[in-house]
Amino acid sequence: MFEPLRGWIETAGGEFSILSCEFDTARQMGMYEDAITRQPDAIVSKPVNAATIIPYIEQAIQQGTTVINVVSPILGPDKQVVPGVSYAGDFNDDRGYVAGQYLAWLGEKNQTKIRVLEIWGLYGFEEWCIPVDKGFRNGIGDSEWVEKIYDSDEAQFNNDLAYTATLDALTAHPDINAVYVTSAMMLNGTVSALKSVDRWAVIGEPNHMMLLSGDAEPWMIDIGQEGYIDFDVDYGCYQFADLSFKALYWKMIRGQQDVPSHLFTVSTPIVREPTGIYGERGEWTYDEWVDFMDQLTLDFATWKPFQGKHWSDQMALPNPDTPSWDTGIPTAPSWAREGFPVD
C-alpha cells in the first residue's frame, strides 16, 4: 500500500520510511513515539488498534506534522473522528457493501439459495471488521436469495487460524455454499480448508464453493483468472497512495491549503462477468484488472500519480484552478449517506 507513495516521494527527492508493527500493538505504539521524535513532515498510517496511538497522533498534530490515516478514520472513545486527522479511504463498509450486492445478484442470477460463511478477523475491530460486516449485510439487504450468514470464529488475520475457522464452520454447517473472506490476509487459510474437504474447484464444477474475497492482491491474479474466486474488491494501494500523494503535494509543495479531513475513495468490484448492478461506480472484469496490474509492474516509482482507471473520477480530487476539493462519484460514500461516523 505504501510502496507507490515511497516511489513518488523518493523520486521527487524526499525521504520516506515504511515501518510495520506486524499486528503488535505495543510495537506500534513505540513506532509512533519514535516518529514523533523524528518530527517528520507527515505520517501516513494504517494502525491496527487506533485507540492506543491517539495520544501520539494528537502530539504529532500539535507539533505541525500532517497525519493521514488510510482505509478508515481514527475514532476516539466517543466514536467520533479524532480532530485534525485526515483520512483516505472508504471506511471499509463500502467494500463490504459491494460484496453483499454481488452475492445477492449471484444468487438471483443462478436461482440458488445462498448460505454464506463470513470469515472474521477480529470481532471488536471497529476500524475494519465491524464496518465490513455492516456493509456486507447492507449490501445483501432483503434479498430472498441469501438465506443465512454464518459468522466464523476470529481468524485474527492469520492463515492458520483462518484454516481452522473455515474447517470448523464447514463441519458444523455443511449447508454452507459460499464463503466471504473479509481480508485477503486470511484467504490462503480458507483455500487450504476448502482443498481439504474437496471444495476447491473452478466455477461451473459441481463441488465449487462460491468464494468472495475482501481485497484483491497481485498474488491472487492467477487463481482469479482461472475461475476459483467469484468476486474480489480492488481497494488497493494505488487509490490510497495516489490520493495521499495529491494531498501532500497540495499542502507541502503548492502550500495552498490544509489536507481535507475526508479524502473519499470507493471500492471497485472485480467480477467474473459484467453485472450491471454498480452503475456509475463501475467495475473491473478480471481481465481488465489483470491488464491494469500488468501495465503497472512493481516498479512503483514509474506509477503515474494524478491518474487512475474506473475509480479515478470517484475520488476526492483537487481542482487544478483553485484549492477546493469535491467528492466525485458517488456524491457521498455509503457512510456519509447514512450519517458519519457509523453507529
Domain count, the chain: 2
Q: Which residue has the cell 520510511?
A: 17
CB of 265 closer than 8 Å to CB of 314: yes
Nearest to 270 by CA among 102, 89, 97: 102
| Domain CATH for 82 | 3.40.50.2300
**For residue 214, pLDDT beyond 70:** yes
- Residue 246, judged by CB atoms within 10 A of its CB (0-12, 13-18, 19+), counts as buried
Band of pLDDT at residue 109, cut at 50, 70 and 90:
very high
Q: pLDDT over 70 for what percent of the chain?
A: 78
- The domain in which residue 11 lies consists of 3-90+238-263
| Residue 194, H or E segment | helix 187-196
Read off the pLDDT of residues 252-296 as tens digits, 9 standing for 90 and up.
Answer: 766 656 676 767 666 788 998 899 898 767 788 888 887 776 765
**For residue 319, pLDDT beyond 60:** no
In a domain, 305, yes or no: no
Q: Which residue has the cell 487509490?
A: 239
In a domain, 80, yes or no: yes
b/e code 271-303 from CB counts within 10 Å (16+ = b): beeebeebeebbbbebebbbeebeeeeeebeeb
121 and 97, same structural domain?
Answer: yes
**Span 197-225, mean pLDDT?**
91
Q: Give the residue from 246, 263, 280 where a domain finishes.
A: 263
Band of pLDDT at residue 2, cut at 50, 70 and 90:
confident
b/e code 184-210 from CB counts within 10 Å (16+ = b): bbbbbbbbbbbeeeebbeeeeeeebbb
- Identity at 328, one-letter amino acid code: G
30 and 129, same structural domain?
Answer: no
Helix (H, G, I), strand (E, B) or coil at 270: strand
Max Cα separation, the chain?
60
72 and 118, same structural domain?
Answer: no
Nearest to 114 by CA among 143, 148, 89: 148
Mean per-residue pLDDT of the chain: 80
Higher-confidence residue: 239 or 150? 150
**Span 109-131, mean pLDDT?**
91
**For residue 237, pLDDT beyond 50:** yes
78 and 115, same structural domain?
Answer: no
**For residue 201, pLDDT beyond 60:** yes
Q: How far apart are CA 68 and CA 233, in angstroms?
A: 22
Band of pLDDT at residue 321, cut at 50, 70 and 90:
very low
